[in-house]
Amino acid sequence: MPKGKKHTPEQIVAILRRIDGGESAQAVSREVNISEATLQRWKQQYGAMEIDEVKELKALRDENARLKRIVADQVLNIQVLKEVNSKKW
């Protein structure tokens, strides 16, 4: 079964704002082709956020992933150096 369309966090917040603006959840979910359960999940995850906060969250997640890669590279380098130093020449 193919997965549905991926929505960006900015699009999700815009959809939630439409519901907050008075549109019915059923009509909005039908229009964007998602289930009402998905709307509820999005509301729990992004309900109190504004678009600029979502962009900041995305930037922080990207930076966190980048830093994790750097730490993993450093750990690998340390292990290699320990292995090289433990050998007797």
Q: In this structure, what are the phi and psi dihedrals at residue 22, rounded to the nearest 5 degrees?
A: 120, -10
Q: Are residues 3 and 35 in the same domain?
A: yes
How far is 46 from 40, CA to CA, in rounded Å?
10
- Asked if residue 83 belongs to a domain, the reply is yes
The whole-number pLDDT of residue 65 equals 98
The pLDDT assigned to 87 comes to: 79
pLDDT at position 89 = 65
Q: Would 42 be classed as within a structural domain?
A: yes
- Number of folded domains that form the chain: 2
In a domain, 55, yes or no: no
Range of the domain at 3: 1-49
The answer to whether position 80 is within a domain reads yes
* Per-residue pLDDT at 3: 62
Domain shared by 41 and 73, yes or no: no
67 in any annotated domain? yes
Return averaged pLDDT per consecutive 10 residues of the chain, 89 residues in all: 70 89 90 90 86 89 97 96 83
pLDDT at 20: 87
